Structure 1
């Protein structure tokens, strides 16, 4: 959880998301706080995601406390992570 991923396929292809829940070994639940809000997250097959080395520690802190992070926290965290220039370090999981 908290890992930053990019969607490879679909309408949301190329967009960054944060994993907020692992469903099983094939599926995760993602959101970005903007088009995919925490109230309506997307279940996505991991084959359709590009995993990165980037992690949103703010989101992890909320999830570890048993709280649901607000959309503005997720959105701000993603923006800050991507602005740091670490998006070049993409890796496929």
Structure 2
């Protein structure tokens, strides 16, 4: 799993990040979720400007991301959600 994390910077080069930004991706976050002591899984959160941005970014994921992680045993579970509660500092952007 550590190798998978190292690949993120190789995959999401500045040019690829710019392409996602132009398509409407606002933010992408990779988290580690500890299920049990010593075991964790990665979670990836994508935030899009709107539904059109979501659709546009799917093509970019298929082109730039999926081919480069096919060697990893992954389980992809998609879910949609809306923020129902948020706490943040005033200077957080």
TM-score by length of 2: 0.25
TM-score by length of 1: 0.25
Higher strand share goes to which structure? 1
Larger Rg: 2
